[in-house]
Structure 1
Amino acid sequence: MSVMPTLDWVNDPVTKLRAGYAAERASISHFSADTVDIDEVPFASGTGLCFTPQELHDGADILYFHGGGWIVGSPWTHQTLCSWMAKLTGRRVFAAPYDLAPEHKFPAQADQAAEIAEKFAAGRDQIVLAGDSAGGAMVLWAAGGMASRYKIQGLVSLYGAFGGLEGPSHDAFGANSEGLNDAALRVMYGHLGCEDMLEFRARLSKAGAPLLLVKAECDPIADDNDWLAAHTQHPITHLLAKDQPHAFLQACGNDTSAEAVMGQIGDWIRGLVKV
């Protein structure tokens, strides 16, 4: 049995992190929902994936931005998560690629998020924007930069990263030795070129469509959800995932508690009022 490489988010070169992260996610791809068809599709930013549930219901298509601290990840690393989102919403989920740091520095990602969403919205009456971790910020940047933001029916942030570097959740969970911790988080923001969070946060959408904030209780960046809620006029629904760590929704297909939360997310998306 192969052993996944241990990722040192602070010291490993980005190329090694990308390869190791992709290998980790590939090792769980067999947990993808088996009633969802997965196809490659073109985006303004390159090739991504479309997840089509066999039981397809009426409703807006979902544009998904993957996480990975803006330095790793792709639509393929989030195949399992997106397939379960498609299954439990009954909607098509389109996972888009975007340019990663450190080759591309902020605000490139904010600009590109808006461009991807704008072109995705062309020819569609309504869309839903969703993303996890770094992808949560991509969602808010897209909503803030789109000319046709009136087409956004809803926004979904899964344990989003919104520039926080300290607070109670960091004190409680920021010293963990695996996965996301405070040291790794600072490196990720450093690669992005965002030592100063003022412009980062200024580009986040401040008003518009309903926003679902999914917070993992045992996540170092859980406080980011509270900061965003206090600094936006989006109508907000809070969903707290008790006892869950950052990125727990990657375990859908192998963890019934993760699937239960994804089911709640699906209920919220299906319940959005059509205008």
Structure 2
Amino acid sequence: MADAAPDWINGDPDDLRRWRNASPEVVNPVLPDDVAITALAPDGACPGGLICTPDRVEGVPVVYFHGGGFVVGSPETHRINTAWIAHLTRAPVISIRYRLAPEHAFPAQAKDAVAALRRQLRSHPRLRLMGDSAGGLVALWAHAGLTVEERGRIGDVVLFYPGGTASIPRPVGLGEDEAGGLGPKSLAAYQRRLDPNGIAGGDARYDPMAEGFAAPARMTILGAGADPILYQARALADRLKARLLVAEGEAHSFLAALPSEPAITHLKRALGETP
């Protein structure tokens, strides 16, 4: 059982990572029996990670970027997400290990994301692109960093409760609750650690709210109805003309409850596995 969450605002990143790594879905995840998880070795500048491969491969491979406020998380902490996506889509899911803040300042994460996506494009004619929470923004950086021809080979983008975009204003009256590291001070702390020089905001290469940002041609966003940062998912969907689904009553990171209901049903909808 994980200890009480440390201080997301001023806490030591190592303490935050130890807490995340001790979460129940990391220590003892309920994984599908028909999915094998193997290591993806680094290749030059391209990061490594994990590959989740179902017994019967039929679908388009998925490249996945994990969440964690740019400070915590890894392909290992998000095995429960990627293994169940592999099971439902019948496709390999390549979960990418990108550099974390504050040890590595932005745009290191965007560079890793682009390199990782290009690495997989060398082996696959088409890909799907996915990410959760802060990893949703990393996925968008990966897509935006491609050439026009490369972007045409991305079948679709699916983001789960995305957040971490400093240029989306917090709605008035939303409150100051910092529970779960999702309040205004926590979000500001993630940005301070990620981008101390403030280079991303307003830059069309990195800011999905900026004019000229390369939006995916086909994108689905699954937001959580009880998520304090649902406003970010809504703003991204509106700005990038994405299909928005909302899991009413669910909290941020509710996919950690997979494969229980209603997490599995909402995941199937976002992946296009159910009407």
Percent identity of paired positions between Structure 1 and Structure 2:
30
Partner of 2:13: 14
The answer on whether the counterparts of 1:28 and 1:80 sit within 8 Å (CA) in structure 2 is no
Q: Distance in 2 between matches of 1:96 and 1:159?
A: 18
Matched, 1:260 2:265: yes
Q: Distance in 1 between matches of 2:268 and 2:27?
A: 19
User: Superposition pairs for residues 194-273 of structure 1, below 5 Å?
Assistant: 196=198, 198-199=201-202, 202-203=205-206, 204=208, 205-232=213-240, 236-253=242-259, 255-267=260-272
Q: Distance in 2 between matches of 1:27 and 1:230?
A: 33
CA deviations 1:184-235 (Å, max 9, x no partner) are: 1111111002574524665244334300111111112111122223333xx5
Partner of 2:157: 155
Select between 196-205 and 44-53 the one with higher mean Cα deviation. 196-205
TM-score by length of 2: 0.87
Q: Distance in 2 between matches of 1:64 and 1:41?
A: 13
Partner of 1:64: 64
Q: Distance in 1 between matches of 2:140 and 2:2?
A: 36
Give the C-alpha shift of residue 30 in structure 1: 2.8
CA pair 190-144 structure 1, distance change in 2 beyond 3 A: same
Matched, 1:52 2:53: yes
The answer on whether the counterparts of 1:163 and 1:200 sit within 8 Å (CA) in structure 2 is no
Give the C-alpha shift of residue 165 in structure 1: 5.8
Partner of 1:136: 136
Matched, 1:167 2:170: yes
CA deviations 1:122-174 (Å, max 9, x no partner) are: 12110011000111011111111012222111111111113356434x74465
Select between 3-12 and 218-227 the one with higher mean Cα deviation. 3-12
What SS is found at the alignment partner of 1:86? helix
Give the C-alpha shift of residue 46 in structure 1: 3.6
Q: Report the RMSD for the aligned CA atoms in angstroms.
A: 2.4
Structure 1, unmatched stretches of 5+, are none
What SS is found at the alignment partner of 2:262? helix
CA pair 101-176 structure 1, distance change in 2 beyond 3 A: closer
Structure 2, unmatched stretches of 5+, are none
TM-score by length of 1: 0.87
CA pair 230-202 structure 1, distance change in 2 beyond 3 A: farther
Give the C-alpha shift of residue 98 in structure 1: 0.3
Q: Distance in 1 between matches of 2:42 and 2:3?
A: 31
Q: Distance in 2 between matches of 1:56 and 1:106?
A: 35
